[in-house]
Amino acid sequence: MDLVLTIGVDALVYASWLFIVSLGLTLVFGVLKILNMAHGSIYALGAYSAASVVALFTTWGMSPAWSLVAMLLAAAGVAAVVGPLLERGLLARFYGRDEVLLLLVTYALFLMLEDGTKLLWGVNPYYVSEPYSLFGNVEIGSLSFVGYDLALIVLAVVCGLLVWLGLNRTVAGKIVLAVIHNPEMSASMGVNVNFVYSAAFTVGVFLAALGGAFTAPMISVQPGVSVSVIIVSFAVVIIGGLGSIEGAAIGAVVVGLARAVAVHVMPDVELFSVYLVMAAVLVFRPEGLFQSVKARVI
């Protein structure tokens, strides 16, 4: 019983931050039809920025509780600067061009951001230990879990609900859905399509940076962290279906369970478990679990 509980909690913790990152990836694809290869680099920017801002708050003698605010501000800062700059300054110039070209542009952007983070923060690892002890330990049955890990699950649920409600229960969300379905008709009705694209991309950047900022206390922030994140995020959106919020949630849970089972039961296949699950899904449902023929955010 303890093993089952451990696997379940580990799976949800891993799925929580992965869902936040993948939610941004699938949102950008759903609205802009761009498979953003640089998404993992934005995650890394969020992690590095959070480490820097938390360290700054610590030197000011502020309470460790403020480190949560510091991480949120770091993610918001990355989104406010990087989102409009990349979308308006670079990606907008390639709209209407071949989709493969856009993929290559985001890959080039990934390479530039990787080198940019090394220039700004160097190659030594950063550690953000202050927030990790804020919530103490939580006893579940005979087992003890870190409270911060469980709080991350709550954050993922909140992010998912806010994005879903924003798209499906607000006027702004209806406008975004209209642009997704028919940007030309939306433009003829007076919708500023370019603003919608910029706003959606910025929200996607914020979610990637938020995932990086709030996982920084759980990992060693160092060069190369973006590579593993973007690979696993792609696995999540492929399993769930590109452009689907529900699919991103289910895909993250499936990936989390596959990894947790492999770590605790079959450690030798841990590196391949996610890709085995992805391959199995693609065999029987190539478009993903929640994907219609035409990609769009649901």
**Domain with 199 in it: what CATH number?**
1.10.3470
Mean pLDDT per 10-residue segment, the chain (298 residues)? 87 95 94 92 95 90 88 96 94 87 93 93 89 88 88 95 94 92 90 94 96 93 90 90 88 92 85 85 81 46
Nearest one of 114, 131, 149 to 260, comparing CA atoms: 149
pLDDT of residue 291: 61
In a domain, 272, yes or no: yes
pLDDT of residue 108: 94
Rounded alpha-carbon distances, angstroms, from residue 10 to 4, 212, 271, 276: 10, 18, 16, 19
For the record, the structure tokens of 62 come out as: 């502020």
How many whole angstroms separate alpha carbon 214 and alpha carbon 68?
A: 8
In a domain, 229, yes or no: yes
Helix (H, G, I), strand (E, B) or coil at 169: coil
Residues spanned by the domain of 112: 2-284
In a domain, 187, yes or no: yes
pLDDT of residue 83: 95
In a domain, 291, yes or no: no
In a domain, 295, yes or no: no
Backbone angles phi, psi at 221, to 5 degrees: -80, 110
Query: What's the N-to-C CA distance of the chain in angstroms?
Result: 37
pLDDT of residue 62: 87
In a domain, 119, yes or no: yes
Cβ neighbour number for residue 93 with a 10 Å cutoff = 10
Between vectors from CA 146 to CA 141 and to CA 150, what angle results, nearest 5°? 85
In a domain, 102, yes or no: yes
Assess contact for 28 and 248: CB atoms under 8 A.
no
Q: Give this prediction's pTM.
A: 0.93
In a domain, 207, yes or no: yes
Total number of domains constituting the chain: 1
Residues 6+ apart with CB under 8 A from 142: 2
How many whole angstroms separate alpha carbon 45 and alpha carbon 31?
A: 23
Residues 6+ apart with CB under 8 A from 126: 47, 48, 51, 52, 216, 220, 221, 222
